[in-house]
Structure 1
């Protein structure tokens, strides 16, 4: 009998089982094997080692491989231009970090002060964005390594070798650019069409629709990020980018029509999703010959909306040269890099969250370095390294990461012990490094604990080239990791009130407020005139994209909070049904707007105002209460059944059933 089937009661003991948050972290994510990344990582880590042995300078080869390791970890982007930023920019910060660490090596308390200051800067700049986060991580990591390991002299040797390793990874990454220059962006747009086809197949079929809608939101966000990010760096108009942006823009009306057709409660004819899937193939293959469409005759407003959007998409996707002056960016074209840099610096300096994280990281690093300065700890730099890896706010829960880090390190040490015990030092390390390096991208896709288990033996094998301790490295590394996790749990988690009082309720309340604004924009009065009508439509499109992006962020925040131990995880789980209800409210708003666009009667402004006020009241109650069961909402006034807002009214009733005890779900 499974544990789920065993009843609990006075006469029966409950089975012992790991907590749910730990099981969730240890459950491997289903992801395809990144064969190209695995081959690239194996070559990038092993080749410098082989060159070092050939030149009789294994220490130099190990340092280049360490730089390559940071490049392998940071190579997470899809587009080639973003990969240049993701790999090259952090290498510059890493070179500064190792130079600072080398200059204070062996200086005791001055080293503690310098590393604490570097941790403050690293933590603050990590909140800017992805590239800044990796840069801040590498700045601190290399500073810790430089302050804890004896580096070759003069002082600029280690920064030069580490940077060479990162640039070697970049060179290997860019080998495919001439052949696949625009492939990542084109593939992202094509995947958006395929995700949309899956959504249309699930429309009217029940719970599968919700998951497919989230897939479309994620895919659409990713595609816009890639295409608009590349467009921001291209001077003038690129025909290829204009075409991809036009192909991406025509997805939006199809996505808007999906909630409306889902509300019909019956599946779509199979040829409609098939046409959308064929559009994805046409985008990826660059086809310009449009097929002859044989679509069923639309019946109601929802079907007419989907039919019109699909025919328009077929026409635009197969255009060889779309009108470059009739392609808007939906979310607005990104500002210039100089402007965004100024905004980022201003936001970091004025952000309370940025200062809090910087101070938290500085406190933990300062305590770790002080502890190993007062207590004899062999190869003490590993303690601060563990603190740095665990205390990354954009990587997930600090508590669960500390536990998973300890478990992953233990698993990695088992692999490292076998390699250090059985593989003779020298040329045999090269094929071992090929195999171990290839595991890093494969295991990184499975989860944090698996990534830690893959990185640990690589670092130990490279460290062995510098200090020649062999198997004796294994036990000290485990003790150092456990000590670093303990410092992080106490100084980086338990001492900070925000760790125990989750802010997911505030984030959810902000999303409910945004849903109210989206409802008002969707059905607000429009001044007369063609230009005003076009501006209102553009405003609604941007509002819809922003609210769905915000809901995607809310879902991510809640999923992160669910991995926290009680009481944070329990509170997040209590609010989770309301997260789903808000997503359905936004879907119902979109569906109502689509029906109005294609023939249905517009709702009365009093109905719109009443429902928007209802949502704002819900947002206020979410901010004030700790659990949804503490909220008591009066029943909303029902609009006429013929109103396009009647499905939205039902979703509001469902939200009330979640928050108000003993109220039936419609």
Structure 2
């Protein structure tokens, strides 16, 4: 029982965050310096936003960089303010100056909002202590935060990677069960595929997270991670075999009518899903897996495939389920991959600065968005004569996320959570409870809030608002006077962040779909060149297969977010949804072909070359249709040739022919969809430009 409590991801995270916040407060209270302890506990908020609690092989280097940036931001805003520089100008310059971190790497990009939050915190401290004290507070606070997290991760070694792997196994279980449990109802791609696509995307995103964690921890070279590395290899095999599809609904329906195949396939899928959930718990709670077999289920499926030799569905399911069962039984991967290092983009400072000074830099746009929003918010505060507008600036920082949909949801949760939290604080402040009871209740509220923050941000905001009001009460004994101004500041900050996300260089996902579709087609072409080329390198095939899945997921994510954005053409998005559906079919065929290539089920060189030429022609036609806004002549010199191969069709050829069929449909959809695109902004560009 204690394993389920102490190793549970939410409990483990909540304990870590609560202790790192509350231990300085407890020590300060016992030593009679409660206010210093409360101020010291503010620093972890900056460290959390900077991602300094992420396990990394350069953990201490990142702590040093983060602490120096926090101290620099704190000193700069005090010194410039003392010299009479207007606050809007200070925040504008600071955001643009620190924005270069976004060009170094995605993890370094989190230092920008964290450093701005450190500067905004300093606004509330300016005038109450010497100028050197807030920077020193940030340096010591970062040292405490780093030392505590280093000790925690030494104590709970491997726990971050165990949590990700456990989530991956659970997602694969849900995906397998959803895919095969309702076999006869999955005949209409328009209704059946979107839920499966969402599950497939979550699985591939978790695989990408595992790759990043292995890269950041150098797990492939650390003996402590050998079992987890093998579990990850097993998960890659499982994802390969679960993600493939036959896509012959008429054959499925025929087999179901002629036999009890649906019940048998569902039995196999549910057995696999149940085993995957058990393995997910075993990984998370440090248990050795028990013996497993599913011989009866496979025998029933094999019997159906023998009774109906002309129907490919039974053979298809038996082939993939038998290999999944072997992996689950032996707990060893079918194929030992050389887990290639994550190709995470990381630039030195000078090349990053050169890229940052380009108008095409996304890091520059993000920094400029923060700069303008903070400058506007501080100007508005000066207009209304607010002496220290730190709450409105903090609200802008906390609710501003990448993407319209994420920011809108965060704003709703933040505003409603703050309103409820202020109401609760207003009622409880009149009770005049003793200081010891207040601190104990704040400890419990902090723990409960961190338990819910990942899934229910609004409820967590309620708790954090209550603790923030009581922190102000303990620091200055006038928390009740802050209730109404803080509510108005929260609403003002949410409105500024929402306006900034809509009008300040927004990255509308519907505008990125064309580029993402082009990138997906390019990834498919590279995969087919490896699959149908002269030499099939298993390591490159495995890595390219994941790149194909990731490229398609980026496209699907763009579509999903675009459908929630305001004022866009619904017909355009509906046609793109159909395009993405056929793209998913191609991904699953490439998954299946990768498995066949590894088992040396290939074509003759001349036949493979001709099929590759046909696929490249079809892919180039689709790319041309996305790249140029012009009339389609109907006859193209790059038209795919007729079926030139006569005789028995192999399994690999069947996949290639279906890929060609999907590309033909995608070309037709592109011709219709592009004329229905929104007629403004970047959608008017006739020629596709490569994203930087």
d(CA) in 2 for partners of 1:135 and 1:510? Answer: 32
- In the TM superposition, residue 313 of structure 1 has moved relative to its aligned partner by 7.5
d(CA) in 2 for partners of 1:400 and 1:195? Answer: 24
d(CA) in 2 for partners of 1:447 and 1:563? Answer: 20
Match of 1:646 in 2: 657
**Is the CA contact 1:259–1:587 (under 8 Å) kept in the aligned structure 2?**
yes
Match of 1:184 in 2: 160
Match of 2:621 in 1: 617
Query: What aligned pairs does 1:492-641 form with structure 2 within 5 A after superposition?
Result: 492-496=500-504, 498=506, 502-526=510-534, 532-533=535-536, 536-567=537-568, 575-595=576-596, 598=599, 602=603, 604-622=608-626
CA, structure 1 residues 399+625, in 2 after alignment: closer, same or farther (shift >3 Å)? farther
- Secondary structure of 1:393 counterpart: coil
Gap regions ≥5 residues in structure 1: 1-31, 527-531
**Is the CA contact 1:364–1:487 (under 8 Å) kept in the aligned structure 2?**
yes
Match of 2:370 in 1: 361
**Is the CA contact 2:510–2:562 (under 8 Å) kept in the aligned structure 1?**
yes
CA, structure 1 residues 56+188, in 2 after alignment: closer, same or farther (shift >3 Å)? closer
Match of 1:98 in 2: 74
Query: What aligned pairs does 1:227-238 form with structure 2 within 5 A after superposition?
Result: 227-231=214-218, 237-238=221-222
What is the CA deviation profile of residues 572-607 of structure 1, one whole-angstrom value per residue up to 9, with x for unaligned ones?
566344334322221122224434655766365444
**Is the CA contact 2:400–2:501 (under 8 Å) kept in the aligned structure 1?**
no
- In the TM superposition, residue 476 of structure 1 has moved relative to its aligned partner by 0.8
What is the CA deviation profile of residues 62-121 of structure 1, one whole-angstrom value per residue up to 9, with x for unaligned ones?
211212344456679675868878877544432332232333455553443322211113
Moved more, 643-652 or 632-641: 632-641
Moved more, 344-353 or 578-587: 344-353
Given candidates 221, 229, 241, the residue that maps to 1:257 is: 241
d(CA) in 2 for partners of 1:516 and 1:312? Answer: 27
Q: Does 2:399 correspond to 1:390?
A: yes
**Is the CA contact 1:45–1:65 (under 8 Å) kept in the aligned structure 2?**
yes
d(CA) in 1 for partners of 2:376 and 2:109? Answer: 22
CA, structure 1 residues 241+500, in 2 after alignment: closer, same or farther (shift >3 Å)? closer
**Is the CA contact 1:125–1:132 (under 8 Å) kept in the aligned structure 2?**
yes
Q: Does 2:338 correspond to 1:328?
A: yes
CA, structure 1 residues 89+438, in 2 after alignment: closer, same or farther (shift >3 Å)? farther
CA, structure 1 residues 598+317, in 2 after alignment: closer, same or farther (shift >3 Å)? closer
**Is the CA contact 2:74–2:119 (under 8 Å) kept in the aligned structure 1?**
yes
CA, structure 1 residues 251+96, in 2 after alignment: closer, same or farther (shift >3 Å)? same
- Secondary structure of 1:332 counterpart: coil
| CA-based RMSD | 4.4
What is the CA deviation profile of residues 202-258 of structure 1, one whole-angstrom value per residue up to 9, with x for unaligned ones?
5543447545433432332222222232117x9xx4333355434433543443333
Match of 2:311 in 1: none
Match of 1:59 in 2: 35
What is the CA deviation profile of residues 42-65 of structure 1, one whole-angstrom value per residue up to 9, with x for unaligned ones?
444344334434444333122112
Given candidates 189, 193, 213, the residue that maps to 1:226 is: 213
Match of 1:119 in 2: 95
Match of 1:15 in 2: none
d(CA) in 1 for partners of 2:464 and 2:628? Answer: 44
- Secondary structure of 1:377 counterpart: coil
Match of 1:416 in 2: 425
What is the CA deviation profile of residues 114-138 of structure 1, one whole-angstrom value per residue up to 9, with x for unaligned ones?
2221111344424654542332222
CA, structure 1 residues 307+486, in 2 after alignment: closer, same or farther (shift >3 Å)? closer
- Secondary structure of 1:567 counterpart: coil
d(CA) in 2 for partners of 1:54 and 1:547? Answer: 57
Moved more, 457-466 or 286-295: 286-295
Given candidates 164, 185, 203, the residue that maps to 1:216 is: 203
CA, structure 1 residues 452+116, in 2 after alignment: closer, same or farther (shift >3 Å)? farther
d(CA) in 1 for partners of 2:669 and 2:634? Answer: 10
Match of 1:27 in 2: none
d(CA) in 1 for partners of 2:419 and 2:223? Answer: 52
Query: What aligned pairs does 1:97-246 form with structure 2 within 5 A after superposition?
Result: 97-105=73-81, 108-126=84-102, 128-150=104-126, 152-189=128-165, 191-204=167-180, 205=183, 206=186, 207=192, 209-231=196-218, 237-242=221-226, 244-246=228-230
**Is the CA contact 1:633–1:660 (under 8 Å) kept in the aligned structure 2?**
no
Aligned length: 610
Gap regions ≥5 residues in structure 2: 1-7, 187-191, 253-261, 306-314, 674-692
d(CA) in 1 for partners of 2:565 and 2:391? Answer: 25
- In the TM superposition, residue 564 of structure 1 has moved relative to its aligned partner by 3.0
**Is the CA contact 2:117–2:394 (under 8 Å) kept in the aligned structure 1?**
yes
- In the TM superposition, residue 362 of structure 1 has moved relative to its aligned partner by 1.4
- Secondary structure of 1:328 counterpart: coil
- In the TM superposition, residue 517 of structure 1 has moved relative to its aligned partner by 1.6
CA, structure 1 residues 86+445, in 2 after alignment: closer, same or farther (shift >3 Å)? farther
**Is the CA contact 1:258–1:591 (under 8 Å) kept in the aligned structure 2?**
no
Moved more, 460-469 or 140-149: 460-469
Which of 1 and 2 has higher RCO (CA within 8 Å, sep 6+)?
Answer: 1
d(CA) in 2 for partners of 1:276 and 1:33? Answer: 18
- Secondary structure of 1:109 counterpart: coil
- In the TM superposition, residue 139 of structure 1 has moved relative to its aligned partner by 0.6
TM-score if structure 1 supplies the norm length? 0.76
- In the TM superposition, residue 480 of structure 1 has moved relative to its aligned partner by 1.8
- Secondary structure of 2:444 counterpart: helix
CA, structure 1 residues 41+283, in 2 after alignment: closer, same or farther (shift >3 Å)? closer
d(CA) in 2 for partners of 1:37 and 1:259? Answer: 32
- Secondary structure of 1:61 counterpart: helix
Q: Does 2:490 correspond to 1:486?
A: no
d(CA) in 2 for partners of 1:184 and 1:607? Answer: 44
What is the CA deviation profile of residues 306-353 of structure 1, one whole-angstrom value per residue up to 9, with x for unaligned ones?
64576477657399xx9xxx8622x3366898x777765565455521
